[in-house]
Amino acid sequence: QFPTAPGANVASGGVQKGTDQLPAPGTQSIVLLSTGTTNNTTSAAIDLWTDFTGVNAGTLSFDYATIQNNLTGGGDNRPGSLRVYGSPDRGATFTELTNVLNFTNNLVLAGSKANIPLPATFNNNANTLIRFYYYNGETGGTNGSRPKIAIDNVVITAVATTPCVAPTSPATNLTF
């Protein structure tokens, strides 16, 4: 069980269970925060293990929103960045699927990443994972706290590898 992120102003980094973050009250998103004064020095991640045995991998979609984390009372301009990776071998190798870079406090950012194609190496593969990776920065920022990011409504699609079989007999009339 994840620690609950009650809203803004939680200084500890890591993975948290969000409350009432996206998209409406009552949801429970995944919240990530990486802290530290120097960019590119710490991170937090969550892995979603997936099994595409017998199917072809389709797409990934999710919603995201920054959560203000103003611990110093304003002027917080240290950035956070989110990268999403796919791995066909449970973490031995990774390919970047999408990203949301250099978001900061005092700038509300929310959106969706929709229908991101999953790698063909996921097809008929039981050993895949998708990693949501937040790290402290990319470039810029010198003051204050870093923002959190909430991830919600994760949807993964797959397509059967064999087509539907046509019926062997015609449909019958149904009378009531």
Provide the whole-model pTM: 0.82
At residue 26, the pLDDT reads 54
- DSSP states of 107-128 as a string? S--EEEEEEEEPPGGGTT-SSE
How far is 128 from 50, CA to CA, in rounded Å? 5
pLDDT tens, 134-160? Answer: 999 878 888 888 889 999 999 999 999
pLDDT tens, 82-94? Answer: 999 999 999 999 9
Q: b vs e for 72-107, b when ≥16 Cβ sit within 10 Å of the residue's Cβ?
A: eeeebbbbbbbbbbbbbeeeeebeebeebebbbbee
Token pair recorded at residue 48: 């979603």
Average pLDDT by stretches of 10, the chain with 176 residues: 43 74 62 88 94 96 89 76 97 96 87 97 97 90 87 94 77 72
Bridge partners of 147?
none
